[in-house]
Amino acid sequence: MTTDPTAPRPRTARWLLRLHRPALYGFAALVIALAALQLALAGPLADAAAEGWRQVNACDFATKCSYDQAAILRYKDYYNYATYAVDALPFLVAAWAGAALTGRELETGTARLAWTQGTSPARWLTARLALPAVVVTACTCPLFWLHHRAWSAGQGRLDSAEDWNALATFHANGPTAAALALAGLAAGVLAGLLLRRTLPALVLGAAATGGVWALVQQLMPHLWPTVTRVTTLQQGGVGSGIIVEQGLVARSGGGHLPLPHCDTTATCDAALAKASGYYTVYHPASHYWPLQLTTSALVLTLTGLLVLASYLALRHLTGPLRPTTQPLGAEGALVTA
């Protein structure tokens, strides 16, 4: 077969959008629903819960007291739903990318058919990385901004509001949510290229995303310089922030001692008798944005490595394959010389 240089190049982006239109509609519906929920959390739901907490704090529990418990619980439940949904997006993207975006097309032979009809394997893969990446970024960035807005609406007003360093809240509250979603996309694409089967690629893509998430969580506290604070025994240790290390300050010499295992009161008293206070190595609230940005940079670096691995896997899969096809005839048959 010979290549016709005058043959029109297929419109890969348009075909990709049409092929995955149901997934696009479903993702758009999910994003719209989450956005609406988070707008409600930042407005009427937060206001109702704040009024409920005002009633609680004004109560004299020596007598019968009424307060809007339903509003308080409703806000907490809906906040958790929104937070977990935003955090789950990278896994959903990874599962879709592994199963439908690459795994199914390689399993059914659709990808190889495209490679023989004027679309090179590299161009095929680039379209499956670039176009979904634009959609994922455009959807997750407003979601984490709205989540941060909903979280901020409860600070100082709701006694049950989550701290900034709560694991689920931290990742849903900033650009790490978008970065992790892109990592999920790259992990799913790579899983599909490696396994070339729908269901196994779905599982591997989601599992790889979980691995990226766990690795990032372990490295995150070490991406920005920490603060060390020493407190007295009466003050106790620092309770708010991302704790990296905590222990006792020795009474003699000022060295560091591990926190005691208080099996009994006597054990605790004996350990505390050797200490003059507590030391805490941690990240305070002022480190929120530095940690968000450095963590996002780390995730995007890992995403770049996954993308590179995807191109290497594609090269191993296709070898010297080149598009050598003529335009299709009226009946769909190849026109050859």
Instruction: Give the tokens for residue 336.
Output: 């050859």
The pLDDT assigned to 313 comes to 92
For 304, half-sphere exposure in the C-beta direction (CA atoms, 13 angstrom radius) is: 6
Q: What pLDDT is recorded for position 45? A: 92
Alpha carbon distance 160, 49 (integer Å):
10
* Radius of gyration of the CA atoms of the chain, in A: 27
User: How many Å separate Cα 276 from the centre of its chain?
Assistant: 41
* Residue 66: per-residue pLDDT: 79
Pairing of strands 242-250, 275-283: antiparallel
The contacts of residue 17 (CB under 8 Å, 6+ apart) are: 24, 131
Per-residue confidence in pLDDT tens, the chain, 337 aa: 344 444 444 566 777 778 788 888 999 999 999 999 999 999 999 999 988 888 888 877 666 777 888 888 999 999 999 999 999 999 999 999 999 888 888 888 888 887 887 778 888 899 889 999 999 999 999 999 999 999 999 888 888 889 999 999 999 999 999 999 999 999 999 999 999 999 999 999 999 999 999 999 999 999 999 998 888 777 777 777 899 988 888 877 777 878 777 767 777 777 777 777 888 899 999 999 999 999 999 999 999 999 999 999 999 888 754 444 444 444 444 444 3
pTM value is 0.85
Q: Check residue 329 and give its pLDDT.
A: 45
Q: Give the 3-state DSSP-derived string for 109-151, with helices as H, strands as E and coil as C.
A: CHHHHHHCCCCCHHHHHHHHHHHHHHHHHHHHHHHHHHHHHHH
| Partner residues linked to 280 by β-bridges | 229, 246
Q: What is the pLDDT of residue 320?
A: 55
Please, what is the end-to-end C-alpha distance for the chain in angstroms? 6
Q: Which residue has the tokens 């975006």?
A: 101
Check residue 51 and give its pLDDT: 87
**Domain residue limits, the chain:** 12-223+287-318, 242-283
CA 43 to mean position of chain CA atoms: 25
d(CA 138, CA 144): 11
Query: Taking a C-beta distance cutoff of 8 angstroms, is the pair 199, 218 a contact?
Result: no
